[in-house]
């Protein structure tokens, strides 16, 4: 047996955090790591004659930060939302945009409180088959490497600190694509001071859907009691299960029925989008 007596410097992993596909109701897309990264868009869609888009990265930290960007492939599942796709895995109904969309620059250093624009450009071949294409664009701060305090640690080494990154979907649609949705099932049950909501949203057609879910109490005058922003049902799935908890309304006895509406996002003027699907839940 041959023993390896080479002693390598100790490497300590402080943190490895990835924020994937999380959508906030605010105007920007934010990483949880002290809100270090802010993006001015939640998603990018190329459709019709649109060929360019500009995404702005904002460094919300007190020090300069260098960021790298790239593509990753992710798929939606009924239960787990988005998961990474393996290197050799193919997903029916899902084709990437890596060969269709170019972006620049690919690496930037942004001063504290500063920003940098990233330009994305669609180059769509004339013979591109009709359909929807999607990849996820990631922005990741470069790892920080710090020296250990040798007297405290007792030996030499480095600290490798991985910082939170963000992703957002980039979608290219080619052709006259349509989709519809409906609520296959749903239930609402009071559990202590919470209402447990369970929904199954189904999709059919050639494209993904994206919108907001509003819950309105029907008893004692209509009153909106909960909203969920940015609910997607991507083209590779036909069903998505949605489960969440919400506070019990102050007068629960006058709210025995809840109307659930899935609609397209509001426009820049706050005008409500068209209704995609709707159902009524009996509160039990």
Band of residue 161 on the pLDDT scale cut at 50, 70, 90: low
Element (H, E) at 54: strand 52-59
Token pair for residue 163? 């910082």
Q: CA 109, CA 94: separation in Å to the nearest integer?
A: 33
CA 189 to each of CA 209, 249, 273: distance values in angstroms, whole numbers, following the listed order? 27, 13, 28
Confidence check: pLDDT of 241 > 80: yes
pLDDT in tens, 15-28: 333 333 333 333 34
Any residues with CB less than 8 A from the CB of 2 and at least 6 apart, and which?
none
Residue of higher predicted confidence among 193 and 261: 261
pLDDT score for 255: 81
Domains along the chain with CATH numbers:
19-174 (2.60.40.10), 179-282 (2.60.40.10)
What is the DSSP annotation of 70-127?
EEE-EEEETTTEEEEPPTT---TT-B-STTTEEEE-SEEEE-TT-EEEEEEEE---TT
CA 185 to each of CA 66, 165, 241, 243: distance values in angstroms, whole numbers, following the listed order? 46, 35, 10, 12
Confidence check: pLDDT of 84 > 90: yes
pLDDT in tens, 176-205: 999 999 999 999 999 888 899 999 999 999
Residues forming a β-bridge with 15: 161
pLDDT in tens, 112-147: 999 999 999 999 999 999 999 999 999 999 876 554
Mean pLDDT of 101-112: 96
pLDDT score for 109: 96
Q: Which of 163-174 are b and which e, b meaning 16 or more Cβ less than 10 Å from the residue's Cβ?
A: bbbbbbbbbbbb
Residue of higher predicted confidence among 144 and 95: 95
pLDDT score for 254: 76
pTM (whole model) above 0.85:
no
Mean pLDDT of 68-85: 92
Band of residue 207 on the pLDDT scale cut at 50, 70, 90: very high
Mean pLDDT of 214-233: 83
pLDDT score for 179: 96
pLDDT score for 104: 97
Q: CA 44, CA 41: separation in Å to the nearest integer?
A: 7
**Cα torsion 77, 80, 84, 85: sign:** negative
Would you say 273 and 262 are in contact if contact means Cβ atoms under 8 Å apart? no
pLDDT score for 256: 84
pLDDT score for 33: 47
pLDDT score for 246: 86
Q: CA 109, CA 120: separation in Å to the nearest integer?
A: 18
Would you say 131 and 205 are in contact if contact means Cβ atoms under 8 Å apart? no
Q: Given the structure tokens 């988005």, which residue do they identify?
A: 82
* Upstream peptide bond of 105 is cis (omega within 30 degrees of 0): yes
Token pair for residue 128? 């591109």
């Amino acid at each position: 047996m041959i023993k390896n007596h080479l002693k390598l410097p100790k490497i300590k992993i402080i943190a490895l955090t990835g924020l994937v596909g999380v959508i906030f109701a605010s105007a920007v897309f934010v990483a949880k790591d002290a809100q270090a990264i802010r993006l001015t868009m939640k998603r990018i869609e190329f459709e019709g004659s649109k060929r360019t888009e500009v995404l702005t990265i904002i460094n919300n930290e007190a020090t300069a930060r260098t960021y790298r960007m790239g593509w990753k492939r992710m798929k939606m599942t009924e239960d787990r939302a988005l998961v990474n796709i393996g290197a050799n895995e193919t997903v029916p109904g899902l084709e990437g945009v890596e060969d269709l969309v170019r972006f620049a620059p690919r690496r930037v250093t942004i001063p504290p409180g500063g920003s940098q624009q990233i330009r994305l450009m669609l180059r769509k071949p004339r013979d591109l088959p009709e359909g929807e294409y999607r990849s996820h664009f990631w922005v990741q701060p470069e790892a920080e490497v710090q020296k250990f305090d040798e007297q405290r640690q007792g030996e030499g080494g480095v600290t490798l600190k991985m910082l939170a990154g963000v992703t957002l979907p980039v979608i290219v649609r080619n052709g006259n694509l349509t989709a519809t949705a409906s609520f296959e099932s749903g239930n609402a049950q009071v559990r202590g001071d919470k209402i447990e909501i369970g929904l199954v949203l189904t999709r059919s057609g050639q494209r993904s859907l994206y919108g907001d879910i509003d819950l309105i109490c029907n008893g004692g005058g209509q009153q909106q009691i909960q909203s969920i922003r940015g609910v997607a049902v991507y083209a590779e799935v036909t069903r998505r299960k949605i489960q969440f908890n919400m506070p019990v309304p102050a007068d629960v006895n006058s709210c025995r029925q809840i109307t659930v509406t899935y609609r397209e996002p509001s426009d820049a003027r706050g005008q409500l989008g068209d209704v995609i699907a709707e159902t009524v839940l009996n509160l039990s």
